[in-house]
Amino acid sequence: MKSFSQKFAQLKDDLITQGDRVVDHVLRAVESFFDSDQEKAAKTIDGDNVIDRVDVEIERASVPLLAMGESDEHDIRSVLTVVKVNNELERIADCGVSIAEVVSSPGRPDQPVPSTFRVMANSVIGMLQDANRALANADIERAERVLRFDDAVNQFQAEIVRDAQQKVASGEFDVEFAFRLLVVTRALDQIADHCTNICEQIIYLQTGNIVRHLPEGWTKPAPPDAM
């Protein structure tokens, strides 16, 4: 009979593999938008079925671990972290599907994508890659870096929205194109939010500290006894 540590090691490996799968999924979705590639978009949408299936498998495998009666706080936090991160990854994959569905919709106007959008998309993909690496390596420093970058993504989104509104008003952007661009931008912003949620869980798992987001920006997590 496998021990808790053996079962958890397998569970974590499955989660990391799922994370890699989701990174590829989002990257494919974004590329399909940049390239107006409907075939790649269709593959993204179809690929979500595998992610959904593995999501359920990981959740089901987590429950018996909690039932093994482990009393070590870190072990319990570890399993709960897997459950929470697994859910965040599934939601990120859904955002990838939202992007791909924009590409798959008929009648997409052929207009140039703003440079700011490309920067935002690359930044969000970088956040997702770093979040998965931080999880795999218990890398708190990398997790903190992801949290610090979330504000920049929010600024990119705000700039893209303002720019789209101005270009629609001036006639430079077709309304349909602007709407689709904003749908994709919103999906990217949601991915960034899910990445920060993952990294908050990583920090909590490794330190027991609670990460706080204040109006003035991200700050170092406060120890539980300081709450």
Contact yes or no for 139/73 (Cβ under 8 A): no
Tokens for 186, please give them.
């919103």
Find, among 133, 121, 131, 128, the residue nearest to 34 by Cα.
121
Question: 4-35 and 73-104 helices cross at what angle (nearest 10)?
Answer: 20
- Where do the domains of the chain lie, and which CATH numbers do they carry? 4-218 (1.20.58.220)
Could you report the per-residue pLDDT of 71-92, keeping only the tens digit for each?
777 888 899 999 999 999 999 9
Could you report the per-residue pLDDT of 9-51, keeping only the tens digit for each?
999 999 999 999 999 999 999 999 988 899 999 999 999 999 9
Tokens for 172, please give them.
């430079």
Please determine, for residue 224, whether its predicted confidence score (pLDDT) is greater than 50: no
The span from the CA of 148 to the CA of 204, in Å, is 16
User: Is residue 216 very low, low, confident or very high in pLDDT (cuts 50, 70, 90)?
Assistant: very low
Q: Which is higher by pLDDT, 99 or 204?
A: 99
Tokens for 15, please give them.
């989660």
Please determine, for residue 208, whether its predicted confidence score (pLDDT) is greater than 80: no
Three-class secondary structure assignment of 18-85: HHHHHHHHHHHHHHHHHHCCHHHHHHHHHHHHHHHHHHHHHHHHHHHHHCCCCCCHHHHHHHHHHHHH
